Amino acid sequence: MESTQKKIVKISSRISVKRLSEVLNLSVSVVIGELMKNGILATINEQIDFETASIIAQYLGFEVEEEVLDKGEAMTLEKLLEILKKEKETGENLQARPPVVTILGHVDHGKTTLLDNIRKTNIVAKESGGITQHINAYQVKKKGKSITFIDTPGHEAFSAMRERGVSLADIAILVVAADDGVRPQTKEVIEYLLEKKIPTIVAINKIDKAEANIQKVKEELGKNGILVEEWGGQILCSEVSAKNNLGMDELLENILLLMEVEDFKADYKREALGIILESHLDPKKGAVATVLIKTGILKEGQDIAVGSIFGRVRRLEDFLGKRLKEAGPSTPVSLFGLSATCQTNDVLQAVSSRTIAKTKSDQSSGSAKGLMENGQNSGSQKSYKRIIDENIKRLPVILKADVQGSIEAIEQILSEIKSEEVAIDYIYLGIGNATESDVRLAQASGAILLGFNVEITPVAKRMAEAGEVEVKNYKVIYELIEEIKKRLSSMLPPLSERTDFGKLKVLAIFKNGKKDMIVGGKVISGKMINKTQVEVLRNENIIGRGQLSNLQQNKVDTNEVEENQECGITFLGETKIKEGDVLISYKEEIKPGKL
């Protein structure tokens, strides 16, 4: 086929023969004929890879580009959702996939214990403080069908991570304790579920407790927009005791029932697209990412990209650490092979080596400029701009955490601290153990080095001790938060807190010394208290202050004199009191500043 000007067409990494003919605007028979000339026998619905499609298209007079990224932009979660929506609409190459289920609920309502019961492991005991502090993903089987579970944190510090877990899920299990009912975090989750119209199953947990009131819980759920079937709604409800293994089979049956109704499907023949659930730096294995595959199949040896981070799949492991050669839709895997840690919610895609080479080349020309403009490194490790306002006292902090989600949660809750006098100066945020370079940076900047679920290397520890760098490690996130809040509070100016006790009108002067006076008077409000501070008012104006060193009533020492009673006081101070003046008995305490 001759052409004076070749038309440029975009072809995805894998494409069916039928779709290729549509892209080229040629009949299917022409495309199949060209394939046969090149020794390839393919039917109308068979998939061919980009290299094959590219050769055929070029023979037919076209120039070809691989359709991976839009205008050089990284694949985003929004774009992924658009792809999944189009995939569902076309119905091409779709097969049933496991549902992705997230378990949500208020802290201490037993959601992690429920998940432990399902997967027959004990995660609660391993979590510091008994709360889940990361997103974790697992798969279980029921009646030969796989179900993927995503566990999201319940503590208030993790609301952003909770929302992310909901957005990834096909089905949400809302756990509500039968003895506690709908709580603030429960309401927050319900609002999100209703807004996003996510299929939901209610699990009323702890039904074995004496204080359990199942009907009250259902009533509270109804008031918040969750109507269970018993109350005339469409929401499936399971009454369970995760601790005592009651009602668990019914809950799994409800998941399978909802799975059949919703009919979850994905394309098993395309290159994989997935979402990063978590990312951390392993000292021995390098960057490790937990990925939930959304569509396509990810295989060992494939080139991959996550935004501007590239790599090749060196190894895939399931949640038990078992090696996998490939992972399909709704499968959570640990992935080894990325060049750096990446952000949670980033989209992973399998790409050709040519695409990576081209994208890297495009980026290299503008990388220096980009770094200057953005002022930060790629991946999850970021250097933050120093606080410029010199009127604000700064707490310099270097924070090292186990995974990106932990840093995100810590930043989120600390961002809620509002003060015009003190602020956190993030010198550096990073993933992985604290090392010598972290200690050197802390020493140079005068920062405290804080670690969350990480260790400090032996050499770094010795350096810190020698350089008097303060290093603190935490296993529970809210303990780290409290430490930072305490340090910020200590930087605030002290507060003076005054308590007024009573007023006395001076009726007589008995002694007028150089620095002391003895006066008599009547308590006109409140009470006068011995050993307090005294403020002297004349014509409602403050003229001086002193101390009440002695208090007498009927010439007998006393600690206090009530209203409408007369007394004598010894006043210590340089102010000269006159008849008719008013003395105020008060106490002034200096207290630490509060955020």
pLDDT score at 586: 96
Question: In the numeric block, which tokens belong to residue 256?
Answer: 């399978």
Predicted pLDDT at 273: 92
Q: Is pLDDT at 366 greater than 50 in this prediction?
A: no
* Annotation: CATH topology of 495-591: Elongation Factor Tu (Ef-tu); domain 3 (2.40.30)
Tokens of 574: 């340089």
| 393-491 classified as CATH 3.40.50.10050 | yes
Determine the Cα–Cα distance for residues 341 and 101; give it in Å rounded to an integer.
26
The whole-number pLDDT of residue 140 equals 84
Phi and psi angles of residue 392, each rounded to the nearest 5 degrees, phi first: -95, 130
What element of type H or E holds 528? strand 516-529
Domain with CATH 2.40.30.10 in the chain: 267-360, 495-591
Contacts of 519 (CB under 8 A, 6+ apart): 506, 508, 509, 510, 568, 569, 571, 577, 583
pLDDT at 532: 95
Give the E-state strand segments of 302-421 in sequence order: 303-306, 309-317, 323-324, 326-327, 332-338, 347-350, 393-401
Q: Is the Cα dihedral 251, 252, 257, 262 positive or negative? A: positive
Which stretch of DSSP H or E encloses residue 424? strand 422-431
With a cut of 90, say whether residue 408 has pLDDT above it: no
Residue with tokens 């106490």: 587
Provide the token pair at 5.
Answer: 């000007």
Q: Where in the chain is the domain with CATH 3.40.50.300?
A: 98-263
Strands (E) across 414-476 are located at 422-431, 448-452, 471-474
Structure tokens belonging to residue 552 = 């007498």
Residue type, 556: V
C-alpha to C-alpha distance for 276 and 371, rounded to whole angstroms: 24
Which position has the higher pLDDT, 446 or 66?
446
Chain segment 434-445, per-residue pLDDT in tens:
989 899 899 888
Pick the CATH number of 267-360 from 2.40.30.10, 3.40.50.740, 3.40.50.150, 3.40.30.10: 2.40.30.10
Q: What is the CATH number of domain 98-263?
A: 3.40.50.300
Mean pLDDT confidence for 545-564: 94
Please write the tens of the pLDDT for every residue from 163-182: 555 567 889 899 999 998 88
Helix (H) or strand (E) holding 36: helix 28-37
| pLDDT of 377 over the 80 cut | no
Cβ atoms within 10 Å of 470's Cβ, excluding its own: 11
What is residue 378's predicted lDDT score, i.e. its pLDDT? 34
Supply φ then ψ for residue 508, to 5 degrees: -155, 150
- 1 falls in which pLDDT band (50, 70, 90)? very low
pLDDT, residue 359, reads 52
Where helices occur in 244-393 by DSSP H, the ranges are 248-262, 353-374
For residue range 7-21, list pLDDT tens digits in order: 888 777 677 788 888
Given a cut of 90, whether residue 308 has pLDDT beyond it is no
Confidence at 537, pLDDT banded by 50, 70, 90: very high
pLDDT reading at 27 higher than 70: yes
CB 472 within 8 Å of CB 452: no
Contact status, residue 331 vs residue 293, Cβ threshold 8 Å = yes
